[in-house]
Amino acid sequence: GENGDLSRLRILVTAGGTREKIDAVRILANRSSGKMGHAVATAARDRGAKVTLITAANHLEVPMGVEAIHVESAMEMCEKVKEHASQNDILVMAAAVADWRAQDVRDNKMKKGKQQTWNIEMIRNPDILMEIVNEDIFKVGFAAETEDIIENALQKLVSKKLNLIVANDISGENPTFNSDENEVYIITREKGKKLPLMSKYDVANKILDKIKQMFKK
């Protein structure tokens, strides 16, 4: 509510896996459920922040009191983030954004014909975090890594000019995707800290604690 410890903060959160059209019926998707991003939005709302949620997880319930914007593709998400960045203090990019999209999206459904292969030419999507450079906004990224987690996450923190990055270990049997729990490292330029396995809502609160400690208006 209005009396929470984050009541002066405006937080823009992204969630879910973007979907890239290939033709009239087919898409390229990824395994992000949107649960992590929605948990950040819920926890921030519970602590009184003004929350805008740009979500590709259109099947997930939107937390009450949160302004939600539904998107499909990386390009749409990028456009919406850019549109809202200047009105927010914090950007938390929990979405799994497709790095590529089909260069030519067919208007019709691709016919099977006799061919045994179908080559789809892909083109790079913009990096949303990299596009947000002129706005005075505190940037938090996520990183899903299978190896050298801290080093890889730190590289992303530096190249995308982030204040904070949250790294998930998605190697092996680790759930993370679509799970209600997550095991993460919270990493700044100065140090990295591994947290034990906990609910995504609790992870969200740990991230918000760190943001609160670092953010100076």
Residue of the chain from 84, 91, 141, 205 that contacts ligand PMT (CB under 6 A):
141
Whole-number Cα distances in Å, 185 to 33, 149, 196, 197: 20, 9, 9, 10
Binding mask 47-86 for ligand PMT (x = CB under 6 A): ---------------------------x------------
In sequence order, what E strands does the chain have?
Answer: 10-15, 20-21, 27-28, 50-55, 67-70, 90-93, 100-102, 122-124, 138-145, 164-169, 181-182, 184-187, 192-194, 198-199
Q: What is the nearest approach in angstroms of ligand PMT to the Cβ of residue 160? A: 6
Whether residue 200 contacts residue 180, with contact meaning beta carbons closer than 8 Å, is answered with yes
Residue of the chain from 142, 185, 201, 207 that contacts ligand PMT (CB under 6 A):
142
Site for ligand PMT in 85-124 (CB under 6 A): 93-97, 99
- For the question of residue 30 being annotated catalytic, the response is yes
Q: What is the nearest approach in angstroms of ligand PMT to the Cβ of residue 113? A: 33
Q: Which residues are annotated as a binding site for CTP?
A: 99, 109, 126-129, 142, 156, 160
